[in-house]
Amino acid sequence: MAEADHFVASAPTHVVLPFLIALWAGQRQGDILALTWSAYDGRALRLRQSKTGATLTVPCAAPLRSALDAAKSKGKGESALTICTTSRGDAWTSNGYRASFNKALARAGISDRTFHDLRGTAVTRLAIAGGQRSGDCIDHGAQPQGRRSDA
């Protein structure tokens, strides 16, 4: 937890938002970068995972809601289609975000961590947020499409 707090305090805002979504929602980098504002209703994120095709509703804990609401209130929600954008307001590419994330990790003095590591941390945080079983929100399993619901 201390590393996450240190990263959030030291990284640029446009790098922190995807990090926070991963930390609290446990989704893959590509799915996070593709999220549009229509996926967020103020309480949860609704998405279809690109890898599994599963449709998920992930409850947003207070820290994630605060970050999303702040981004939206700064006009980002009106001017950008995707939730996560570069410092110029453009949609991230996967390679572009990965490079910026790795630079921010290095600047924060954090080593031996990857963006994908956040999926495991999210399982614990999702249990704190309540709602669905944490594994249902992450969908580590390879269940066929249609077996998960938005319940």
Domain segments of the chain as ranges = 2-138
Q: Interhelix angle for 2-10 vs 94-107, to 10°?
A: 110
Predicted TM-score (pTM) of this structure: 0.81
Is the CB of residue 136 less than 8 Å from the CB of residue 151? no
pLDDT tens track of the chain, all 151 residues? 688 999 999 999 999 999 999 999 899 999 999 999 999 999 999 999 999 999 999 889 899 999 999 998 876 555 568 999 999 989 999 999 999 999 999 999 999 999 998 988 887 766 765 644 445 555 544 333 333 333 3
Cβ–Cβ < 8 Å for 146, 49: no
Question: Tokens standing for 24?
Answer: 């609290």
Integer Cα distance of 109 and 125 in angstroms: 24
From its phi and psi, is residue 8 left (phi > 0), alpha (psi between -120 and 50) or beta? Answer: alpha
Residues 2-138: name the CATH superfamily: Intergrase catalytic core (1.10.443.10)
